[in-house]
Structure 1
Amino acid sequence: MGRVHSDVIQFRGGHYDFGFEQGQMLKNSFILPNRKKQWGPQNRNFTINEQEAKKLLLDLSPAIWEEICGLADALEWPMYDAIKDFGGYYLEYVRSGCSIFTAPDFMVRNYDSTPLGYEGRFALYQPTDGGYATIGPTMQITGRTDGINEKGLSMGYNFINRRNSEDGFICNMIGRLILENCATIEEAVALLKEIPHRRSFSYVLLDKSGETKVVEASPREVKVRNASVSTNHFELLTEENRYQIEDSRRREQTIQNHQDGLTDAFSAFRLLNDSDKGVFSKKYATASGTLHTAAYFPETLEVGFALGPNRLPLMLDFQKWLDGEKLYVKRINGNLDIDAQFVNMGEL
């Protein structure tokens, strides 16, 4: 078993100041040097359309653009490099798994990927210059893998396919755009239909209405369906699926087989997090091992979070934090069934 951890980041203030604060923290972090090693020559040869990315971000969320400017200034980077690394537009994304189950009052989600690409950052941010407060794990600093906002809108996504990509935003920035700018499922669906998508992903949405929508989004089309279980295949845009979706179907069927017994969030959490239930994945070598399990509660704004299998969730009261209480947790610890570390933990 390898010990891992996520650092908890708390910030209240404007987006530029939040970006600058994160940039200062990154100067003393292993994240950016490790990322450059991992991307290697591919990152040096990768080009973006700076003006196009800037225009899209300013149109969709000028506040997040300010955050990127703060990061650039703190790191003393050219804006081109900051947009490329933090803009979430038109960048490669590691293949991943993921399983999600929802009920009217909660969402439970497994995030499956490779430990070597996991940032180990869990952020609570309450902006003072526009946008909703959010809580959730970060990806590529500005993005979110899943989370909930102050309005109770919860979001998680499932990887579908890397083939036939086009210019557009990647999943983690799309997750951030949803959480920071949308109060309801309807607003989130409208946003997902408006923005350009680089890859094919499902976005699972739950709000205080108790309704769940799964939005199947590809670079070519966006469709919406009702479902309480989502794994790594489309049900409507089936032409976008990978050739091999057997494991995705298996995890979906496993959750559906237990669905009648999932009467509360804890039983759902145990189904996804316990290593012997058939949903938690140990396929870390193929970038589809479960790294975290998260639970989000739209009515109470509580969050449960665990790193690795067979763990009780750390419960966080986001509403109390929104009301001004400080969260006295600096680090979330866990264990994985592999001798590996996250990019925030040391030099790779």
Structure 2
Amino acid sequence: MKQVYSDFIQFRGSHYDFGYMQGELLKDSPILPNRIKHWTSKRKRYFTINEKESIQLLNKFIPGMLAEITGLADALQWRIEDALREFGGHYVEYGRSGCSILAGSQYLIRNYDSHPGSYEGRYMIYQPTDTGYAVIGPSMQITGRIDGINEKGLAMGYNFINRVGSGDGFICNMIGRMILETCANVEEAIDLLKEIPHRTSFSYVLLDPSGEAYVVEATPRSVIARKSNISTNHFEILKEENRYQMDESIQRKQNIEKQQGNHSNVYEAFRILNDRDKEIFSNKYNAWSGTLHTAAYLPNERKAWFALGSDRMPVIIDLESFLKGEKLNFKKIIGQLDYDTPFINMELL
């Protein structure tokens, strides 16, 4: 077993100041050296961007992001074009991953499945003072969000579907950040997902205080929304976009459906996804589909639950308290994985 941790980072202020603060922290972190090492052989292929187009799209869909990237660039003493390439979310292929999501009327719970050597280990809570909603959730590629909830009670998680047939557009974690920072409810999030360009195919699961969960099937070619409370790694409507091999994803969905009927509250539902004996939590880290975190979001309470590894009691994080000006008493969230590779925030790999 390997002990792992996510750094808990909280901030109030402008997007520029938020970016600058993150850049200062990253100077002393192995995250960027590990990331650059991982992408070195693929950089020319995947990190080619149209700078002017990226700026225009970021300003249109998430107005504070360019200022955040500028703050990162200034703190790291990078050129803005290099910071856009690294943090703009408008370019790169996304690594393989699993992921399972279960929603009820009062909660959205998801397992994030991937490889530990790609996981940043940064849990972010940010309240902007210039533009956008306050958001809580784990980061990916610094500026993106893997899942989360905002001050309006809109919760979001996504599931990887397919990399084949990719187009020019934003990647999943930046889209997740856009949804949470700019949308007040499910309807606004669906409208945004239909408007933005998508790099690859993902399902986005949405829940707000109304209690009605939606799955949005999004590809570079088409976007369609449907009411549903379970999502794994295949589409139900845009079936032509699915990968050839879907048996494991279908089996996982059926397993969740079979178990959810016996569990009515958020804690019992959390256990379905986090307990190893329920057979949803995955240890397939070598295949980039091992469960790294289990997160739960409660829209009506504006709370997040979070656990690293299996069979754990979640840490409960109160966004409402943070919005009232309190400093939350966390520095790290600690867990254990049945694998030897650490997260990229922990040491040079």
Q: TM-score normalized by structure 1?
A: 0.99
State the match for 2:279 in structure 1. Answer: 278
User: 1:158 corresponds to which letter in structure 2?
Assistant: N
CA RMSD of aligned residues (A): 0.7
1:253 partner SS: helix
1:316 partner SS: strand
Is 1:234 the equivalent of 2:240?
A: no
Is 1:40 the equivalent of 2:40?
A: yes
**What are the within-5 Å matches in structure 2 for residues 1-348 of structure 1?**
1-44=1-44, 46-348=47-349
CA deviations 1:112-163 (Å, max 9, x no partner) are 0110000000000000001000000000000000000000000000000000
User: 2:106 corresponds to which letter in structure 1?
Assistant: D
User: 1:311 corresponds to which letter in structure 2?
Assistant: R
Supply the distance in 1 between the matched residues of 2:50 and 2:318 (Cα, whole angstroms): 40
User: 1:285 corresponds to which letter in structure 2?
Assistant: N
Supply the distance in 2 between the matched residues of 1:61 and 1:177 (Cα, whole angstroms): 6
1:169 partner SS: coil
Kept in 1: contact 2:235–2:242 (CA 8 A) = yes
Shift in Å, 1:43:
1.4
2:261 partner SS: helix
User: 1:33 corresponds to which letter in structure 2?
Assistant: P
2:64 partner SS: helix
Shift in Å, 1:312:
0.5
Shift in Å, 1:259:
1.8
Query: Aligned pair count?
Result: 348
User: 1:95 corresponds to which letter in structure 2?
Assistant: R
Shift in Å, 1:41:
2.3
User: 2:337 corresponds to which letter in structure 1?
Assistant: L
Supply the distance in 2 between the matched residues of 1:128 and 1:318 (Cα, whole angstroms): 16
Gaps spanning 5+ residues in structure 1: where?
A: none
Supply the distance in 1 between the matched residues of 2:110 and 2:260 (Cα, whole angstroms): 15
Supply the distance in 1 between the matched residues of 2:23 and 2:235 (Cα, whole angstroms): 37
User: 1:11 corresponds to which letter in structure 2?
Assistant: F
User: 1:151 corresponds to which letter in structure 2?
Assistant: K
User: 1:17 corresponds to which letter in structure 2?
Assistant: D
Supply the distance in 1 between the matched residues of 2:320 and 2:35 (Cα, whole angstroms): 34
1:173 partner SS: helix
Supply the distance in 2 between the matched residues of 1:44 and 1:195 (Cα, whole angstroms): 24
Q: After TM superposition, which residue ranges in structure 1, 4 or more long, deviate above 3 angstroms?
A: none
Kept in 1: contact 2:154–2:186 (CA 8 A) = yes
CA deviations 1:314-348 (Å, max 9, x no partner) are 11111111111111110000000111100000010
Shift in Å, 1:44:
4.5
User: 2:110 corresponds to which letter in structure 1?
Assistant: R
Supply the distance in 1 between the matched residues of 2:101 and 2:12 (Cα, whole angstroms): 30
User: 2:289 corresponds to which letter in structure 1?
Assistant: S
Supply the distance in 1 between the matched residues of 2:269 and 2:21 (Cα, whole angstroms): 36
CA deviations 1:10-62 (Å, max 9, x no partner) are 00000000001000110010000001111122114531111111110011122
Supply the distance in 2 between the matched residues of 1:102 and 1:130 (Cα, whole angstroms): 29
Shift in Å, 1:103:
0.4
Supply the distance in 2 between the matched residues of 1:276 and 1:337 (Cα, whole angstroms): 14
User: 1:297 corresponds to which letter in structure 2?
Assistant: L
User: 1:69 corresponds to which letter in structure 2?
Assistant: T
Kept in 1: contact 2:93–2:163 (CA 8 A) = no
Supply the distance in 1 between the matched residues of 2:8 and 2:74 (Cα, whole angstroms): 23
255-264 or 209-218, which moves further after superposition? 255-264
Gaps spanning 5+ residues in structure 2: where?
A: none
Kept in 1: contact 2:63–2:131 (CA 8 A) = no
CA deviations 1:178-231 (Å, max 9, x no partner) are 000000000000000000000000000000100001000000000011111000
Supply the distance in 2 between the matched residues of 1:100 and 1:115 (Cα, whole angstroms): 19
User: 1:55 corresponds to which letter in structure 2?
Assistant: Q
Supply the distance in 2 between the matched residues of 1:175 and 1:187 (Cα, whole angstroms): 13
1:276 partner SS: helix
User: 2:332 corresponds to which letter in structure 1?
Assistant: R
User: 1:94 corresponds to which letter in structure 2?
Assistant: G
